[in-house]
Amino acid sequence: MTAPAAALAAAVRSGERSAVSVAEEHLAAIDAVDGELHAFLTVLAEQARADAAAVDAAVGAGGDPGPLAGVPVAVKDNLCTRGVPTTCSSRILEHWRPPYDATVVGRLRAAGAVVVGKTNLDEFAMGSSTENSAFGPTRNPYDPSRVPGGSSGGSAVAVAAGLATLALGSDTGGSIRQPAALCGVVGMKPTYGTVSRYGLVAFASSLDQIGPFACSVADAALLYDVIGGHDPMDSTSLDRPAPDSAAAVGQGVEGLRIGLLTEFVEGVDAPVVAAVRAGADALAAAGAAVEEVSVPQLRYGLPAYYLIAPAEASSNLARYDGVRYGLRVDAADVEAMNRATREAGFGPEVKRRIMLGTYALSAGYYDAYYGQAQKVRTLIIDAFEDAYRRFDVLIGATTPSTAFPIGAKVDDPLAMYLSDVCTIPSNLAGHPAMSVPFGADDAGLPIGVQVLAPALGETTMLRVSGALEAAAPVLGAPVVGATR
Amino acid sequence: MSEWEAVIGLEVHCELRTATKLFCGCRNAFGDEPNTNVCPVCLGLPGSLPVLNAAAVDYAMRIGSALHCEIRPSIFHRKNYFYPDMPKDYQISQYDEPINVDGRLELPDGSLVQIVRAHLEEDTGKTSHMGGGGRIHDAAHALVDYNRAGVPLVEIVSAPDIRSAAQARAYAAELRAILVATGASDGRMEEGSMRVDANVSVRRVGDTAFGTRCEVKNLNSLRSLGRAIEYEIERQIALLEAGDTVVQQTRHWDEGKGQTVALRSKEEAFDYRYFPEPDLVPLAPDAAWQARVAAALGPMPAERRRRVGALFGEEAATGARADQIATVTEHGLDELVLAATEAGVDPALALARTANEASADAERARQLAPDAYVALLKMEQGGALSATQAKAVLAELLAEGGDPAEIAKAKGFEALETDSLAGVVADVVAACPDEWSRYAGGEDKLAQFFIGQVMKATQGKANGKAVVEELRRLRG
């Protein structure tokens, strides 16, 4: 299987290709097509050229710039980049420049990667279509009239359209896997605690996890190995050595027990169901024992998520009050200034979730809403645990449908929320899950198959994903984008 | 009509003396240039995360241990409300699972106050209202200093066991002594490193139900604590006797006016929307850590008062002696008294010098080498130095350190030889024949007159006792 990022890094490390030429190629591609796609909010042309030149200089001096030497990487704009705008696609942070790099950004640079830009997202990662960006939507390169999914739509599109070889996103309820599925790329959400959240602007702290986008499972594993591992700056970071998972990808699925989740094919569009079943057949043919399994508790994931995530968000987003940084709308007194700033600075979806979350935590309602949702969360963890006694991994659809038209769900938040019905349970459980491209529907829109594993089950998850990738029908090239 | 009884509970916020803040590596220091001890974490910048400071946990456990609390596994919560000096617009605090619960504090008079909890939390920044009238409501603008944001606090909550302003003062004083003894706090109320809020209600003696309470804030000294509680008790009794009701509210103590003033009522109270802090993991100090903390803890003030008191028997419990014992203990100088007494110094002299002179410069006195202090007291006791001279040497010893004998020598405080003293006394007697004849006739109080004259003649070098002995010898 091809691994463009690994191949590119090998070529740069050996001196066969120059990092500067790689950067120039990608900057030119961004220049050519991003006016239409709008994957990027900020393109870091000068910085990328300088970083690439430094990589070439290191190679020239006989040094090793690292496993991602010269690889162009796009970074979601809710990850802090020192001195570079980090907007979260919100007016409230439009001109804010963090004084520090997120841990993952530091690790990218230390591995020789070249950050080419900051990508568009739903405001504060709240959404499933990248339409909730204060700076305009991102378009799907397979059909620019359709959404790329979200919230990490910009990162998914950057990789799908060949504008970056790899990208980082964040996944709170499916925000990496859902856009990966809709854009025909690999998207991986690692186990909660394996990748440091330091420098990820929080949406829902107990659910947020950073992860890779790539064109192949092997490249996703490569990027995960670079960004993973303990970070003393994040108390929820697991005290484990850096992951070493890339080798697992080609190991096959012989003898693995795989459960096909019936809840993740019910109510799902026919072409997606067909792809999931074809994937299951391919895994069986490759030597895995595949059988259907029902975990009915997963149905309660969506309502529990829409209490827990907004509750945490209502607290996490309180700090945008106009006092210290970001937007300030002046008013007669501090309280009025807070109110005017937040009224002007937040978009409607963010306001909706702040109100939902504030309500869910209010005196007299806490037990009925937030407390109850946490019980459901425990129920889901227990149900998964039960299923993983019988199966090594679970598979199902990543999304109920392929990419939908821009504007189709903007006036119906509940319909939009349902886009994440298959991805949310893994966030509630803190488990790893990833989406692997597996063919397309009749209109040529990509379909993703989701692979779920128990906590710290990345290695097995990557083996299964590698086997799925090997068996997947060839996906056509995007209608807008560079050759990749 | 039956008498009124006050019911008082105190909430004490104690800043911990850690080198760094509760959740980041910034310096924990009072009085630095504003906004110099700050970083992304304590400024609550987007993307930053808290990491718990183990030294703060250590101090919290010392406090819990000193207050006989049960030390338990605990978690942190977020207390949500908007305030400009709170960078994240929530405070990380402990809520229903605090680190220390169910303790007690014994006051010097023997009464017991139960401790409900003593939990960890972060401090806020500090707002200064500028321009206009300079007060909150008419200021032109406000400046915020975030140096204090994230400084570790332990909040100690008493049960409503306190029944008078005097008892509240005694509780706060004893708690302060304990906090200082654990090393957790410097106990400075004026600098805000120890802050007290009082919950006050009144009821008829004999009633078991509580009256409606008011929380009084802005108590910056033991004196304001006492005055504010007195005022609040009187205010509530007056309301009830007039047939009115007490409204549950938060009140501000106005030191200048000597009044409490309503800040906000229960209806206006914040809904803090507490929920477990997802950025921190549960805190569960293991048995070994707890044992290390308990072992490192020295004796607490009550025990230390008993040790000093044992030198005085019955006398220890009363009047000036009890006050002196309390003073040396509160300032952490009781070990000096014990060391001196053990070396043979008269307990009364050791206690007096320590309570009256050494305590005035307690910070330095705590650094004093006991040997030097003992040597000084022995010189005074043996007559080599007068009391006045001994105090002067002590002041120098505290300021500069050194050897008391050499300091005395440098100051020219060499005691007069008995012969030369006899000569001076003889001269003074010869110069004051009237006084001498009255003294010789039995008016003993004139001894003081002669001591004064001899002191004047010797620039204070004479020993008062030796003078009296010489006078008696001359009188025959």
Residue B136 — pLDDT band, cuts 50, 70, 90? low
Catalytic residue among A175, A419, A426, A465: A175
Match domain B418-475 to its CATH number in 1.10.3470, 1.10.20, 1.25.40, 1.10.10. 1.10.10
Q: Count the domains in chain A.
A: 1
CB atoms within 10 A of CB A289: 14
Q: Does the residue A110 lie in any domain? A: yes
Backbone angles phi, psi at A211, to 5 degrees: -160, 170
Indicate the average pLDDT of chain A: 97
**b vs e for A156-165, b when ≥16 Cβ sit within 10 Å of the residue's Cβ?**
bbbbbbbbbb
| Model pLDDT for residues B411-449, shown as the tens digit of each residue | 877 666 666 788 888 889 989 999 999 998 888 888 889
Q: Is residue B105 scored above 90 in pLDDT?
A: yes
Q: Which range of residues forms the domain containing residue A95?
A: 4-233+250-295+382-471
* B89 contact residues in A (CB cutoff 8 A): 318-319, 321
One-letter amino acid at A18 equals S
Q: Do B278 and A198 touch (CB under 8 A)?
A: no
One-letter amino acid at B470 equals E
Q: Which pair of structure tokens corresponds to residue B28?
A: 């924990």
| Model pLDDT for residues B334-391, shown as the tens digit of each residue | 999 999 999 999 999 999 999 999 998 888 998 898 999 999 999 888 878 888 889 9
ipTM over 0.85: yes
Q: Is residue B466 scored above 90 in pLDDT?
A: no
Using CA atoms, how far apart are residues B476 and A30, in angstroms rounded to an integer? 116
Q: Do B49 and A88 touch (CB under 8 A)?
A: no
* B278 contact residues in A (CB cutoff 8 A): 204-206, 236, 312
CB atoms within 10 A of CB B248: 15
CA torsion through residues B220, B225, B228, B232, sign: positive
Residue B138 — pLDDT band, cuts 50, 70, 90? low
Q: Do A335 and B82 touch (CB under 8 A)?
A: yes
One-letter amino acid at A374 equals Q
| Model pLDDT for residues A214-238, shown as the tens digit of each residue | 999 999 999 999 999 999 999 999 9
Q: Is residue B50 scored above 50 in pLDDT?
A: yes
Q: Do A324 and B82 touch (CB under 8 A)?
A: no
Contact A186, A437 (CB under 8 A): yes
Among A397, A385, A349, A291, which Cα is nearest to A130's? Answer: A349
pLDDT, residue B132, reads 67
Q: Catalytic residue at A151?
A: yes
Contact B124, B90 (CB under 8 A): no
Indicate the range of A397-406, A443-452, B463-472 predicted with least confidence.
B463-472
| Model pLDDT for residues A39-58, shown as the tens digit of each residue | 999 999 999 999 999 999 99
Using CA atoms, how far apart are residues A71 and B115, in angstroms rounded to an integer? 60
Residues 54-93 of A with CB under 8 A from B: 79-80, 86, 88, 93
pLDDT, residue B243, reads 94
Closest partner residue to B49 among A234, A318, A361, by Cβ? A234
Counting every residue written for chain B, the total comes to 476
Contact B471, B450 (CB under 8 A): yes
Shortest Cα distance, chain A CAs vs residue B73, angstroms: 17
Q: Does the residue A341 lie in any domain? A: no
Which H helix or E strand runs over B335? helix B334-342
Indicate the average pLDDT of chain B: 91
Contact A105, A148 (CB under 8 A): no
Q: Do B51 and A232 touch (CB under 8 A)?
A: yes
Residue bearing the bigger pLDDT, B6 or B440: B6
Residue of B nearest to A88 (CA): B46
Q: Is A362 on the interface with B (CB under 8 A)?
A: yes
Q: Is the peptide bond before A465 cis (omega within 30 degrees of 0)?
A: no
- Hey, which bits of B231-342 come out as E strands? 249-254, 259-265, 275-276
Q: Do A318 and B89 touch (CB under 8 A)?
A: yes
Q: Is residue A11 scored above 60 in pLDDT?
A: yes
Q: Does the residue A420 lie in any domain? A: yes
Shortest Cα distance, chain A CAs vs residue B136, angstroms: 10
Angle, helix B54-66 to helix B165-182, in steps of 10 degrees: 130
Using CA atoms, how far apart are residues B97 and B157, in angstroms rounded to an integer? 14
In a mutational test of the B interface, the residue from A89, A90, A206, A235 whose CB has the highest number of chain B CBs within 10 Å is: A235
| Model pLDDT for residues B230-279, shown as the tens digit of each residue | 999 999 999 999 999 999 999 999 999 999 999 877 666 679 999 999 99
Place of tokens 């718990």: B52
DSSP B62-114: HHHHHTTPEE--B--EEEE---TTSTTSEEEE--SS-SEEEEEEE-TTS-EEE
Q: Residue A90, by phi and psi: left (phi above 0), alpha (psi -120 to 50) or beta? A: beta
Q: How deeply is B322 buried, as exposed, middle or buried, from its count of CB atoms within 10 A (0-12, 13-18, 19+)?
A: middle
Q: Do B278 and A93 touch (CB under 8 A)?
A: no
B410 bridge partner residues: none
Closest partner residue to A198 among B44, B49, B78, by Cβ? B49
Q: Does the residue A277 lie in any domain? A: yes
Residue of A nearest to B274 (CA): A361
Pairing of strands B4-15, B152-158: antiparallel
Domain boundaries along the sequence of chain B: 4-289, 299-410, 418-475
- Hey, which bits of A77-151 come out as E strands? 114-119
Residue of A nearest to B24 (CA): A233
Shortest Cα distance, chain B CAs vs residue A32, angstroms: 32
Shortest Cα distance, chain B CAs vs residue A335, angstroms: 8
Residue of A nearest to B35 (CA): A324
pLDDT, residue B190, reads 84
Closest partner residue to B275 among A98, A311, A338, by Cβ? A311
Cα within 13 Å of Cα(A233), Cβ side: 18
Q: Is A107 on the interface with B (CB under 8 A)?
A: no
Using CA atoms, how far apart are residues B151 and B148, in angstroms rounded to an integer? 5
Q: Catalytic residue at A175?
A: yes
Q: Which pair of structure tokens corresponds to residue B282?
A: 């549960």
Contact A259, A292 (CB under 8 A): yes
Q: How deeply is A226 buried, as exposed, middle or buried, from its count of CB atoms within 10 A (0-12, 13-18, 19+)?
A: buried
Q: Does the residue A142 lie in any domain? A: yes
Q: Catalytic residue at A351?
A: no
Catalytic residue among A76, A118, A189, A409: A76
Using CA atoms, how far apart are residues A149 and A120, in angstroms rounded to an integer? 11
Using CA atoms, how far apart are residues B460 and B413, in angstroms rounded to an integer? 8
Closest partner residue to A100 among B40, B84, B90, by Cβ? B40
Q: Is residue A484 scored above 60 in pLDDT?
A: no
**b vs e for B110-135, b when ≥16 Cβ sit within 10 Å of the residue's Cβ?**
eeebbbbbbbbbbbbbebebeeeeee
pLDDT, residue A174, reads 98
Q: In what order do the strands lie in the sheet with A257-261?
A: A40-43, A114-119, A72-76, A166-171, A209-214, A186-189, A433-440, A446-452, A393-397, A257-261, A289-293
Q: Do A88 and B89 touch (CB under 8 A)?
A: no
Residue A243 — pLDDT band, cuts 50, 70, 90? very high
Q: To the nearest whole percent, how much of chain B has pLDDT over 70?
A: 95
Q: Is residue B52 scored above 60 in pLDDT?
A: yes
Q: What is the CATH number of the domain that holds A135?
A: 3.90.1300.10
Q: Is residue B1 scored above 60 in pLDDT?
A: no
| Model pLDDT for residues A264-305, shown as the tens digit of each residue | 999 999 999 999 999 999 999 999 999 999 999 999 999 999
Indicate the range of A171-175, A324-328, B76-80, B292-296 predicted with least confidence.
B292-296
Q: Which letter does DSSP use for residue B356 in this model?
A: I
pLDDT, residue A1, reads 46
DSSP B211-253: ---EEEEEE-SHHHHHHHHHHHHHHHHHHHHTT--PPPEEEEE
Catalytic residue among A133, A151, A155, A196: A151
